[in-house]
Amino acid sequence: MNPQPQANTLKNLDEVRAMIKRHKLNDYIFSIIGLLCLMVGLLTLLTLFIDLILSGYPKLLSASFYTDFPSRRADSAGLLSALVGSSLVMLVTFFSAVPMGVMAAIYLEEYAPKNWFSDLIEINVSNLAAVPSIIYGLLALGLFVYILDFGQSILTAGLTLGLLILPVVIVATREAIRSIPIAIREAAYAVGATKWQVVYDHVIKYSFGGILTGVIIGMARAIGETAPIITIGALTFIAFLPPSPITTAAPFLNFEWLSSGFTVLPIQMFSWLSRPSEAFHVNAAAAGVVIILVTLLMNGFAIRMRYKMRKNIKW
């Protein structure tokens, strides 16, 4: 017997052990790097939020900040017209995007034949979702402001944001509809329901939660959008409220507010931010906290609902 091979094996064994050790170390190192990278995103949000609160808190705590109009003096400037403006614009956005988006999704999922035409619509929707928001602003400037002559009004802003979130609503609704098992539809057809009855009584009802999640996420995005609203030329000093939508006299509803000038939360923040004076930056920070809180609450609610639904629904 030659002792040479055995020595070699032993040496190899040591090398193999060293290699395994090295590779395990690599594993360990990488998992730490990975965790760190993951933290960058999360810590940034945290830093941002804390920084905003720290620089904005004198304003955040004063009640007059929420009940005052914008002003030339930083300490008496408030958010009132932006809060009202944002709510009214969201109202228009909701009523333009949601019915349209839900109907489009139902058509695409339940009615559309599979041909080049539905493919075309599909490609369109996915492309629209990726168009930069400022392009929607240009569309609105050309189409709504000048060609249709709506002016720089709440109506223009609401419709613009409505178009912007249309793809979000369509995609979310389609996903919700697609998750309903085909058996539910077949059961309804088996007892003689028409297509519309199936859609109305089953498809819409079972996908309601999913649709709602999509709508909330879309609205949260619309509230924070700044670029398209600036592009339609709405960056002005607004120290008045639009006419109230509800009146005491019949017919109790008043649509004058649609054509009124307005400002919204992110625009107000932008105009404070673009002033050189430090005092206005405090206002900008406080407005930032308000915007983040609103969008985080809406998104958080929607995401929570989605995860809950995923767990609860068992067909």
Partner 1 sequence: MLAALSAVFTTVAIVGILLYESYGFFEHVALKDFLTDTVWTPLFENPRYGILPLVSGTLTITGVALMIAIPIGTISAIYLSEFASHKVRETVKPILELLEGVPTIVFGYFALLFITPLLQKIFPGLPTFNMLSPGIVVGIMIIPYIASVSEDAMRAVPMSMREGSYAMGATRFQTAIRVVTPAAISGIVAAYILGISRAIGETMVVAIAAGQQPNLTFNPMESAATITAYIVQVAMGDLPHGSIGYQSIFAAGLVLMLMTLTLNLIGHMTRKKFSERY
| CA-wise closest residue to 159 among 79, 95, 83 | 95
Nearest residue (CB) to partner 1, 55 versus 260: 55
Q: What SS3 state is found at 246?
A: strand
Nearest residue (CB) to partner 1, 208 versus 307: 307
Smallest distance, Å, CB 183 to partner 1? Answer: 26
Nearest residue (CB) to partner 1, 40 versus 249: 40
The label of the residue with tokens 């945290």 reads 46
Contact 140, 231 (CB under 8 A): yes
Smallest distance, Å, CB 171 to partner 1? Answer: 11
The label of the residue with tokens 């923040």 reads 269
Nearest residue (CB) to partner 1, 258 versus 286: 286
Smallest distance, Å, CB 31 to partner 1? Answer: 5
The label of the residue with tokens 């109230």 reads 244
What's the distance, CA 264 to chain centroid? 16
Smallest distance, Å, CB 246 to partner 1? Answer: 29
Nearest residue (CB) to partner 1, 80 versus 291: 291
Angle at CA 80, nearest 5°, toward 46 and 243?
140
Smallest distance, Å, CB 117 to partner 1? Answer: 9
Backbone angles phi, psi at 36, to 5 degrees: -60, -45
Q: What SS3 state is found at 253?
A: strand
